[in-house]
Chains A and B, each alone.
Chain A
Amino acid sequence: MALAASVLPGFAILMLLGAIAFNAHFLWLQGALRACAAVAVGLAFANAIEMTWPRRHDLIDLAIAAAVAIAVLLLHASLVLTFLIFVPLSFLVPHGWRMRV
C-alpha cells in the first residue's frame, strides 16, 4: 500500500509528461526535451561527484569504483556479473590491506 502510494503520483505525472514528449512534433518541444536531457546528465554528474567526494581519500574504494565503471562501460559486464565479481573483491581485498597497515 505504501509502495503504491509512493509510486502512483509520480506515475500519473510521468504519463502526462510522456504524452507531451511522445507527441513532440514541434521543433521547440524537441529542443526543450534535448536541453532537459542534457541538464539531467549534468545533475547525475553532480550527484556522482557529491557521492565520491567523501571517499576521495579511500584509494581502495576509488580503485574498485573505477574498475566497476570500466568493466561496465568497456567490457559490457552485466549487472549480475559485476556484483558477483566486485562485491566479494570489495569485501575481501580492503580488509586484507587494512590488516597489514
Chain B
Amino acid sequence: MNLSRLAIAFAVLSLLGFGGGKAIIPQMHTDVVDNFHWISSAEFTRFYALGKLAPGPTTTMAGLVGYAVDGMMGAVVATVAIFLPAGVLVRLAGIAWGRFDGHPWRDRISGSLKPVVLGLIWAGVVTLARGATDAPPTALLALVAAFILLRTNWNQSLLVLCAGAIGAAMFR
C-alpha cells in the first residue's frame, strides 16, 4: 500500500517538476509531511541537506523519503517514480519543442513559466527554513552559508560538510 502511494505521489511530482527539483519542494513537503505523515518537517530538511552532498539533482532526496517509508524497496520505488516520468516527459516535450523552433510563442511560454517557478523556489526556501532554523544558532548558520555562497564560488557540498563538522562540535 505504502509502495503504491509512494510511486503515485512521486510520479505526480515528477510530472509537475517544471523548472527543476527546487520548484516541487513545497508540494513534496505537503505530500510527505502534511498529507501522508511519512516524515517530520525537520527530517525533510535533513534529507534535503543530505541530497546536497550526493551528486545529481535535488530530487534525489526522494530516495531517502522512500527509505524512511519502506526500506530499500521504498527508496528504489521513490527514485524511479521521481525520475522516470520526468525523463519520458522531457524527451517527448523536447521533440515537440524543437518543432516550434523560432516561433514567437515559444519564448513567451517559457517566459511565463519563469516568475511562477521563481515564486515556487521562494516558497521552497521558506518551507525548508521552517524545518531547519529552529533556533538562533541554526538561523545564523543558514545566513552565513547564504552570504558565503553569494560572495564566493565555494562548492556547495563542501559548505554542507564544513557545517556538519561545526554542528558536531556545537550542538552536542
B49:A37 contact, CB within 8 angstroms: yes
A-B contact count (CB 8 A): 261
Give Cα A11–Cα B84 distance, bound, in whole angstroms: 14
Give Cα A52–Cα B55 distance, bound, in whole angstroms: 25
A15:B16 contact, CB within 8 angstroms: no
Give Cα A65–Cα B48 distance, bound, in whole angstroms: 23
CB-defined contacts of B47 to chain A, threshold 8 Å: 18, 21
Report how many residues on chain A are interfacial, defined by Cβ distance under 8 Å: 66
**Interface status of A7 (Cβ within 8 A of chain B):** yes
A72:B26 contact, CB within 8 angstroms: yes
A3:B83 contact, CB within 8 angstroms: yes
Give Cα A60–Cα B112 distance, bound, in whole angstroms: 11
Shortest B17–chain A CB gap in Å is 9
Give which listed residue, B115, B116, B131, B150, contacts A37 with CB less than 8 A: B131
B129:A51 contact, CB within 8 angstroms: no
**Interface status of B163 (Cβ within 8 A of chain A):** yes
Shortest A21–chain B CB gap in Å is 6
Counting chain B residues whose Cβ lies within 8 A of the other chain, the interface size class is 35 or more
Which has the most chain B C-beta neighbours within 10 Å: A11, A36, A52?
A36
**Interface status of B33 (Cβ within 8 A of chain A):** no
CB-defined contacts of B68 to chain A, threshold 8 Å: 22
Given contacts A64-B116, A91-B112, contact A9 B75 (CB under 8 A): no
- Name B's A-contacting residues (CB within 8 A): 13, 16, 18, 22, 24, 26-27, 30, 42, 45-57, 60-61, 63-64, 67-68, 72, 75, 79, 83-84, 87, 108-109, 111-116, 118-129, 131-133, 138-139, 141-147, 149-150, 156, 159-172
- Name A's B-contacting residues (CB within 8 A): 3, 6-7, 9-11, 13-15, 17-18, 21-22, 27-52, 55, 58, 60-62, 64-69, 71-73, 76, 78-80, 82-83, 86-88, 90-91, 94-95
Q: List 27 A-B contacts (CB under 8 A).
A: A6-B56, A11-B56, A14-B51, A14-B64, A22-B68, A32-B165, A33-B46, A34-B46, A34-B138, A35-B163, A36-B53, A38-B138, A39-B160, A40-B132, A41-B145, A42-B145, A42-B147, A43-B146, A43-B160, A45-B146, A65-B122, A68-B118, A69-B123, A78-B30, A80-B16, A82-B119, A88-B112
